[in-house]
Amino acid sequence: MTCRQPLTPVLRQLTRTTSFELGRQSSRSQASSLARTAAKASAASGSRRCFSSSQPRPLKATASVRQAQSKDDFTSTKYPEIKRDERFASLTPDHVAYFRRLLGGNGSALIDGVTGEAADDLAPFNSDWMRKYRGHCQLVLKPSSTEEVSKILKYCNDNLLAVVPQGGNTGLVGGSVPVFDEIVLSLGRMNQILEFDEVSGTLVAGAGVILEVADQYLAERGYIFPLDLGAKGSCQLGGNLATNAGGLRLLRYGSLHGTVLGVEAVLPDGTVVDDLSRLRKNNTGYDLKQLFIGAEGTIGVITKVSIQCPQRPAAQNVALFGLASYENCQRAFREAKSQLSEILSAFELMDEGSQALVHQVTGSKRPLESPYPFYCLIETSGSNVDHDSEKLQNFLESVMEQGIVADGTLAQDETQLRSLWSWREGITEALGHLGGVYKYDVSIPLSQMYQLVEDTRARVAEAGLLGDGEEHPVRAVVGYGHMGDSNLHLNISTRRFDARVEQVLEPFIYEWIAERQGSISAEHGLGLAKKKYIGYSRNPTMVGLMKQIKRLYDPKGIMNPYKYI
Amino acid sequence: MTCRQPLTPVLRQLTRTTSFELGRQSSRSQASSLARTAAKASAASGSRRCFSSSQPRPLKATASVRQAQSKDDFTSTKYPEIKRDERFASLTPDHVAYFRRLLGGNGSALIDGVTGEAADDLAPFNSDWMRKYRGHCQLVLKPSSTEEVSKILKYCNDNLLAVVPQGGNTGLVGGSVPVFDEIVLSLGRMNQILEFDEVSGTLVAGAGVILEVADQYLAERGYIFPLDLGAKGSCQLGGNLATNAGGLRLLRYGSLHGTVLGVEAVLPDGTVVDDLSRLRKNNTGYDLKQLFIGAEGTIGVITKVSIQCPQRPAAQNVALFGLASYENCQRAFREAKSQLSEILSAFELMDEGSQALVHQVTGSKRPLESPYPFYCLIETSGSNVDHDSEKLQNFLESVMEQGIVADGTLAQDETQLRSLWSWREGITEALGHLGGVYKYDVSIPLSQMYQLVEDTRARVAEAGLLGDGEEHPVRAVVGYGHMGDSNLHLNISTRRFDARVEQVLEPFIYEWIAERQGSISAEHGLGLAKKKYIGYSRNPTMVGLMKQIKRLYDPKGIMNPYKYI
């Protein structure tokens, strides 16, 4: 950690000729890559663990998570209340023979555990990356064309075979993992970039294209994918759309509901929904593609994507501040929106608790000399290095003079930029190292957002569960997240499993959110984890209307059963 | 017209201390206001006329358009193939008595032509501003609450009374005007701004709030409505959403599908769809509100709107160039996106034909000394006047040096800024002055966009219909539009009605667009005008899926009948 640079001296250096000017592009992307590499290494060593927000698992020794899974690890065992829908047929050799004929003799197109032994090959498709969910799927199909997807789904619909569409399988709520013996429909072979218009910035690609591959393709042409997230090295565009992924660029480029121009999808009965418009404007009827964005594969399978991509910014800057109160964080955000305006690309919030834990785990020197109750990380992305630096300088002077910000530091080069980002992106990792974590990904109106952390902390403390000593099951209650999107990650870091913790947390947190008309899932979706809590964010009329849509498109209910609504 | 300023001298003036720095805000808005004032004055004098793109009307003397309408003016007379749906009940005094009880004795809540004489009061609700469509409505209801809307719709649904929701009635395709005796449900009294969060920029407002009122409210708080269009002084937010209005800011702020956070709507059976989220992120189920955006009131009535509003830009600049070819226009657009990037807020295209007609009508001195085949108008909006000016200067130098742009001029003050905009915004007005116009609002992939104008012009010329002399019915075939959105306005200016013109234009234009997977209605919607042409932009499967949605939400078909799909 070498980025310590007191704010005042930094401000003096902020002229057009200082080393503050960053190289073109890529710095943020490299930071992501670093974080991912670290995450992968960590996952491989079994150090990353995470409780479901609603179904905590007993803590295990850190090294044991990646050990051979036992019968206890099956979702069906963990959630005995979920029963296999007996309407669904069980796979037979005849079914497999049909799919084999359809997909050709290509060995890579089908993983068959029905007529042969394929447990090892099936394993990655049966489990999520956090190892929280594990299914009993015996057949993975990997179509390479929309026509194949259509024929597979029609056959499944006709024969009542349940299907789980799967992209990069990087979700956090168990949405892309089978529960029982559903067929996994893996989109990974539909990984072609099909068209790119270098004037309009419109990209058309198969659902199986990996997000980072798409972004690299665009980078070579001066464009950027309007979505960025930690899993970009594995997640696929179809899955991004199906989960309405939010991520790090939403503040700047908006949601997928705005940037996606077209979708090609296949309905359970095999109907191909060709809504793959390349046009930015097309007011000819209901915008049906929107239903597939965020539907988590429950009404059809997205096979192709058309999306509007912005020009890649030439310059990026990152600053990190210490602030005395959440009130000041809100003031800083307001100032940043006003003064940085069109170049503001991230405004992230971290509380002292979260930063202390990162420091405890990494041992890195902290960016600021003194601790503050809150920290904000600001990123700018623009087309002119000098202008961006000057805007940032003016902003920093203004928030310092007004006493909104107590201290701060500004990245002087790409290494420092990555380092500052690591204090935000490294939180999940650090918490995972320390033990079990109850994670809540919520959205609450900004003025009340951090109050949830304080109220939860007070409640856990009042129950005698929170403290420094080993006798307390809860180590810390911390909050961080995308302040620019009113998206809070509330994390409860524990030393060991204790049934009392969950009793204190739930339904308290959900009720707290519901009272403030917040969302119990800001960006992670519903999947299996949040299915039964939707009533806290949606009224019965809305849930009824959603079920109506589900019945309309998937009357036999074969698509991604046991999840969503 | 005083803004003539050769580009080279202007470039020299572009330093931080020149008069180039514009005042904060409002300049663009004032330009709009001016244009609107001119339009209103013109409409009052009866000078604005417009052919339907598909149903040309016989030309009349300019002054006669606003004369008392005759029986021939009814849509039902003009389109004899549209028959009243006999399933619908006719209004009786009992129906009126129910609505009168429901809405109270308030005279302003109901216009009753059923039990009394109210032709004059009903007239504005029965006709669109272009006087192209005219209905036989005898009852206008003006609810002031969602509950009233719900009770009205439930009663109409139970009694098979057809309903046309109406906002500001500024549409261009006859979508908000009744055809027969449908009840008009006017949202104008639901005109309250309900909430505004000054930190997040989230505005919640009634559907009847006028766009300009909302924008002025936001301006006082440093924010801007993420939609701007010529009719802002009359159009209402509910109608903006129902028609998925595009307008002038789409290039910068994106479509309503991305900026709208929540919608409250009422279904025909009276069900209130409470999807009025204030949250930027909320991944809890299907995003049903999206269906109401662009549905043109055919599945329910939007009653409230929640929308994300950006910070208002502090600086705006406008430049106008002459270019030798459409190829150069595309290159200029690419360069503008790259160099102006985050501050680019408009990139408009005008061909010489359109500008010559404006000059012919207004007599104004043209902005550039020599004519060029094409002109582009660029607007920047940013938070720092100096930075924006410098970016624009660099951009202008670059496109001049590369020979992309032949000549150009840059607004030096707000008067010049408005004047430059008038060469773009005044086209519709000028064409209206000259006679009948066939108007097509289409979207085509950018590389082929202007080719439609050339092909249409060639086709009309080949038929001997185009020429300078009075013997030719067609004066000019011109193209202009929102280049940043691939949105072309193709206009055929005529001297008189001639049946051969339409025969040459249609279905040629629709087929041309369909071959290139374009849209026959980029931003105006379907309404009555484009209903029968949807097949040129949507395949039968998509139309079938849309009809399925219509049947799902409006099984009795009472909502805005005879239109849309």
DSSP-assigned states of every residue in B259-318: HEEEEEEE-TTS-EEEE----S---SS--THHHHTTSTTSS-EEEEEEEE-PBPPSEEEE
Interchain pair B338, A258: CB under 8 A: no
Residues A33 and A68 in one domain: no
3-state secondary structure (DSSP) of residue B337: helix
Nearest CB among A281, A293, A443 relative to B279 is that of A443
pLDDT averaged over every residue in chain B: 87
Co-location of A126 and A216 in the same domain: no
pLDDT score, position A206: 98
Which ipTM score applies to this complex? 0.88
Residues B298 and B364 in one domain: no
Q: Are strands B183-186 and B139-141 parallel, antiparallel or unpaired?
A: parallel
Confidence of residue A249 (pLDDT cuts 50, 70, 90): confident
User: Which residues from chain B sit within 8 angstroms of residue A384, using beta carbons?
Assistant: 387, 390-391
Residue B159 included in any domain:
yes
DSSP 3-state of B233: coil
For the CA atoms of A265, A271, A276, A277, what is the dihedral angle to 10 degrees? -140
For chain A, helix (H) and strand (E) counts, in that order, are 20, 16
B140 with B67, same domain: the answer is yes
Write the Ramachandran bin of B533: left for phi over 0, alpha for psi from -120 to 50, otherwise beta: alpha
Tell whether B324 lies on the interface with A, counting CB pairs under 8 A. Answer: no
B416: in domain: no
A419, part of any domain? no
DSSP-based helix, strand, coil % in chain B, nearest 5: 40, 20, 45
Residue matched to tokens 């296949």: A266
From A345, which residue of chain B is nearest by alpha-carbon distance?
Answer: B342
**Are the Cβ atoms of A244 and B287 closer than 8 angstroms?**
yes
For chain B, how many structural domains are there in total? 4
CB-based contact A275 B243, cutoff 8 Å: no
Q: A466's torsion region: left (phi>0), alpha (psi -120 to 50) or beta?
A: beta
> What residues contact residue A360 under an 8 Å CB cut-off, 6+ apart?
A430, A434
A343–B339: do the CB atoms touch at under 8 Å? Answer: no
Residues of A in contact with B345 (CB under 8 A): none
Interface list for B 202-261 with A (CB within 8 A): 222, 243-244, 246, 250, 254-255, 257-259
Q: Are residues A463 and A482 in the same domain?
A: yes
Q: Across chain A, what does the average pLDDT equal?
A: 87
Question: Which residues touch B173 (CB under 8 Å, ≥6 apart)?
Answer: B521, B524, B525, B526, B527, B528, B529, B530
Please list, residue by residue across B433-466, b when 16 or more beta carbons sit within 10 angstroms of its beta carbon and e when fewer do: bbbbbbbbbbbbbbbbbbebbeebbebbeeeebb
Helix (H, G, I), strand (E, B) or coil at A19: coil
Contact B274 A542 (CB under 8 A): yes
The yes-or-no verdict on residue A164 having pLDDT over 90 is yes
Of B443, B446, B520, the CB nearest to A199: B446
CATH, residue A517? 3.30.70.2740
Q: Are strands B487-494 and B474-482 parallel, antiparallel or unpaired?
A: antiparallel
The beta-carbon neighbor of B443 closest among A254, A281, A542 is A281
Residue in A with minimal Cα distance to B329: A199
Instruction: Specify whether the backbone of B475 is left (phi greater than 0), alpha (psi in -120 to 50) or beta.
Output: alpha
Domain assignment of residue A553, yes or no:
no
Q: How far out from the chain centre does Cα A242 lie?
A: 12
Rounded CA gap, B379 and B333, in Å? 12
Q: State how far residue B250 is from chain A, nearest Cα, in angstroms.
A: 9
- CB-neighbour burial class of residue A85 (10 A; exposed 0-12, middle 13-18, buried 19+): middle
Backbone angles phi, psi at A420, to 5 degrees: -60, -45
- The CATH number covering residue B390 comes to 3.30.70.2190
The three-class DSSP label of residue A203 is: strand
- The owner of tokens 């790259």 is B338
Which of A272, A517, A522 has its CB closest to that of B281? A522
Given A153, A186, A219, the domain boundary residue is A186
Are B274 and B198 in a shared domain? Answer: yes
Torsion of CA B334, B338, B339, B343, to 10 degrees: 100
Last-in-domain residue among A410, A444, A470: A410
Please answer whether residues B152 and B108 qualify as being in contact, where contact means their C-beta atoms are separated by less than 8 angstroms. Answer: no
Which residues in chain B have their CB less than 8 angstroms from residue A485's CB? Answer: 280-281
Q: What are phi and psi of B209, to 5 degrees?
A: -65, 130
Exposed/middle/buried for residue B16 (C-beta within 10 Å: 0-12, 13-18, 19+): exposed
What confidence score (pLDDT) does residue B10 get?
36
For residue B219, give the nearest of B252, B193, B258 by alpha carbon. Answer: B193
Backbone phi and psi for residue A151, each to the nearest 5 degrees, phi listed first:
-70, -35
CA neighbours closer than 13 Å in the CB half-sphere of residue B501: 30
Dist. CA B464–CA A121, nearest whole Å: 70
Q: What local confidence, expressed as pLDDT, does residue A266 receive?
A: 98
Q: What is the rounded distance in angstroms from the CA atom of residue B349 to the CA atom of residue B333?
A: 10
**Shortest Cα distance, chain B CAs vs residue A223, angstroms:** 9
Report the C-alpha gap between B432 and B425 in whole angstroms.
Answer: 13
Residues in chain B predicted with pLDDT less than 50, given as ranges, are 1-68
| Residue of chain B nearest A344, judged by CA positions | B342
What are the DSSP calls for A84-134, one per residue? Answer: --TTSPPP-HHHHHHHHHHH-S-GGGEEESSSS--HHHHHHHHB-TTS--B
**Residue A297 maps to a domain:** yes
Residues B243 and B260 both lie in one domain: yes
| Pick among B25, B248, B266, B281 to test the A interface (most A CBs inside 10 A) | B281
Q: How far is residue A168 CA from its own chain's centroid?
A: 12
Q: Which DSSP letter does residue B519 get? A: B
Q: How far apart are CA A413 and CA A416, in angstroms?
A: 5
Cα gap A510→A519, rounded to integer Å: 9
Residue A543 backbone phi and psi in degrees, to 5: -65, -40
Interchain CB contact of B26 with A (< 8 Å): no
B38 exposure class (CB count in 10 Å sphere: 0-12, 13-18, 19+): middle
In the structure encoding, which two tokens stand for residue A405, read together?
């910000």
Asked if B225 and B115 sit in the same domain, the reply is no
Least Cα separation, residue B361 to chain A (angstroms): 31
Q: Which domain covers residue B250, as residue numbers?
A: 193-308
Strand residue runs (E) in B398-461:
407-410, 437-443
User: For chain B, how big is the Rg over CA atoms in Å?
Assistant: 24
Say whether both B249 and B265 belong to one domain.
Answer: yes
Closest approach of chain B CAs to the CA of A58, in angstroms?
27
- For B207, list phi and psi in degrees, rounded to 5: -65, -25
* Pairwise CA distance, residues A244 & A236, whole Å: 12
Asked if A524 and B288 come within 8 Å (Cβ–Cβ), the reply is: no
B513 and B448: one domain? yes
**Among residues 522-541 of chain B, which lie with CB inside 8 Å of chain A?**
522-526, 530, 534, 537-539, 541
Q: Which of B370, B395, B410 is the last residue of a domain?
A: B410
The amino acid at residue A167 is G
Interface list for B 123-182 with A (CB within 8 A):
none
Q: What is the CATH number of the domain that holds A92?
A: 3.30.43.10
A207 and A300 co-located in one domain: yes
Question: Is there a contact between B59 and B453 (Cβ–Cβ < 8 Å)?
Answer: no
Q: What's the rounded Cα separation, in Å, for the pair B332 and B445? A: 16
B148-153, long-range: CB < 8 A, 24+ apart: B148/B102, B148/B103, B149/B185, B149/B190, B149/B266, B149/B301, B149/B303, B150/B266, B150/B270, B150/B271, B150/B272, B151/B102, B151/B270, B152/B99, B152/B102, B152/B185, B153/B185, B153/B266, B153/B267, B153/B268, B153/B269, B153/B270, B153/B300, B153/B301
More confident residue, A138 or A26: A138
| Residue B141 DSSP class | E
The verdict on whether omega for the bond into residue B561 sits within 30 degrees of 0, i.e. cis, is: no
CB atoms within 10 A of CB A24: 12
- A70 shares a domain with A169: yes
Residue B364 falls inside a structural domain: yes
Is the peptide bond preceding residue A80 cis, with omega within 30 degrees of 0?
A: no
Weakest-pLDDT range from A45-59, A386-400, B289-303: A45-59
For residue A275, being part of any structural domain is answered with: yes
Domain membership of residue A538 (yes or no) is no
Contacts of A294 in chain B (CB under 8 A): 283, 285-287
Distances (CA, A) of B32 to A151, B129, B230, B400: 53, 18, 6, 29
> Structure pTM?
0.88
Instruction: Tell which phi-psi region holds residue B104, choosing left (phi > 0), alpha (psi between -120 and 50) or beta.
Output: left
CATH of the domain at A271: 3.30.465.10
Q: Tokens at residue B191, please?
A: 């005109």
- Which candidate, B86, B59, B386, places its Cα nearest to that of A390? B386
pLDDT in tens, A125-160: 999 987 889 999 999 999 999 999 999 999 999 999
Cα gap A548→A542, rounded to integer Å: 10
Would you tell me how many other CB atoms lie within 10 Å of the CB of residue B226?
25
Is B24 in CB contact (< 8 Å) with chain A? no
Question: How distant is the Cα of B505 from the closest Cα of chain A, in angstroms?
Answer: 20
pLDDT attached to residue B172: 87
Tens digits of residue pLDDT in B223-262: 999 999 888 999 999 999 999 999 888 999 999 999 999 9
Give B14's contacts (C-beta < 8 A, 6+ positions apart). B20, B389, B390, B392, B393, B410
Cα B458 to its chain centre, rounded Å, is: 28
DSSP assignment string, B363-413: -PPPSSSS--SEEEEEEEEES-HHHHHHHHHHHHHHHHHTTS-SEEEE--S
Let me know if B269 is exposed, middle or buried by CB neighbors in 10 A (0-12, 13-18, 19+): middle
Q: Which residues have CB under 8 Å from B507's CB, separation 6+? A: B536
The alpha carbon of residue B469 is apart from the nearest alpha carbon of chain A, in Å, by 37
A412-424 burial by CB neighbour count: b if 16+ within 10 A, else e?
A: bbbebbbbbbbbb
Q: Does A192 touch chain B (CB under 8 A)?
A: no
Chain A residues lying within 8 Å of B340, measured CB to CB = 383
Contact A286 B275 (CB under 8 A): no
Q: What is the pLDDT of residue A375?
A: 98
For residue A165, what is the enclosing H or E element?
strand A163-166
Let me know if B82 is exposed, middle or buried by CB neighbors in 10 A (0-12, 13-18, 19+): middle
